[in-house]
Amino acid sequence: MEVKEEVEFKLEKEDNMKNLILESPLPDCVKSEPCWLGIDEAGRGPVLGPMVYGICFSPISMKEKFGEMGFADSKTLTEDQRESIFDKINEANDMIGWMVEVLSPTFISTSMLRRTKYNLNALSHDCAIRLVALAIERGANIAEVYVDTVGDPTKYQEKLKGIFPSIDITVAKKADSLYPIVSAASICAKVTRDKAVKKWKFQEEINTEDLQYGSGYPADPNTKSFLANNMDYVFGFPQFVRFSWSTAAIILEKDAAPVKWEDDDEDENADKSNMALTSFFYIIYIQVLNRNDTIKLFIQISTTGTITIKVYSLSVVYLDNITVYR
């Protein structure tokens, strides 16, 4: 199986909730010769689909030959042009290696919405660091790293230099238009994201026939339509949607079941470290007389211990004996 087909196969078969690392075979020359490595991402802004980070690396001695391959920032190319250049990258597997990490929408949302915030910049930094470290672990002799900045370029460069002290680090704005190796990484990331979006396997019961969700950017009419037509009143959006984006949050706030979260300022003097672990767990028993029905529960637990349960049924159903044990 060729690399491109393997990418498509894995994107279609893997669990969409999990992050995924894809990579090319490692050329022998990158193990023995000093290499330059570029880092870029695709899909930072969309409300739909994954964000993909990519790296591309090749021997420094082949920079001139590398530059002749016609790399450019993926954002300036058509989809067909990106596919064509991605094919060239894989055909030049004797001198070019690449890796990408697909960060799932679920991972992005849970990271940004957890109590200890893990913002998109920190997430991006860690992903870039992880890919560089993985390339080195695989045996690539990385001597130079070029990366498009995320946040303050000086601080980002210092951070990378502290982790990889023996590598010459360059963090620059618009690095994807300045350094061909970053442009190549950009293309690997963008092509992978495009395929991930097209091959997306919905875990939810969604009619995908003639489904149009556009580019995933909030201003796209098809994206707006998808969000409006695929929101569950209780469970919100499919995993394809980044719940943490304001576009999605506003719709949920307006049209979904109301949810009251614990107020961070409430009872701030309480010693939460001494709360028993069992105080957070509840067992819910439901006796359903119509066994063929599908039941959805909306559970609201207040900080005072009051529990509200709303039961939603997909057909007429009789429920009895809803009991909550604390």
The SS3 call for residue 318 is: coil
The SS3 call for residue 14 is: coil
Q: Measured between alpha carbons, how far is 219 from 230 in angstroms, rounded to an integer?
A: 17
Is 271 within any annotated ligand binding site? Answer: no
Q: Measured between alpha carbons, how far is 310 from 299 in angstroms, rounded to an integer?
A: 7
Is 204 within any annotated ligand binding site? Answer: no
Residue 167: exposure state from Cβ atoms within 10 A (0-12, 13-18, ≥19): middle
Comparing CA positions, the residue from 163, 212, 191 lying closest to residue 90 is 191
What is the distance in angstroms between the CA of the first residue and the CA of the last residue of the chain? 54
User: Cα-flanking dihedrals φ and ψ of residue 241, to 5°?
Assistant: -100, 140
Residue 295 β-bridge partners: 313
The SS3 call for residue 260 is: coil
Q: Which helix (H) or strand (E) holds 164?
A: none
Is 148 within any annotated ligand binding site? Answer: yes
Q: Measured between alpha carbons, how far is 119 from 113 in angstroms, rounded to an integer?
A: 9
The position carrying tokens 């002290």 is 165
The SS3 call for residue 13 is: helix
DSSP 45-89: S-SBS-EEEEEEEEEGGGHHHHHTT----GGGS-HHHHHHHHHHH
Helix %, strand %, coil % for the chain, to 5?
40, 20, 40
How is residue 230 written in tokens? Answer: 């695929």
Residues placed in the known binding site for a divalent metal cation: 40-41, 148
Residues placed in the known binding site: 40-41, 148
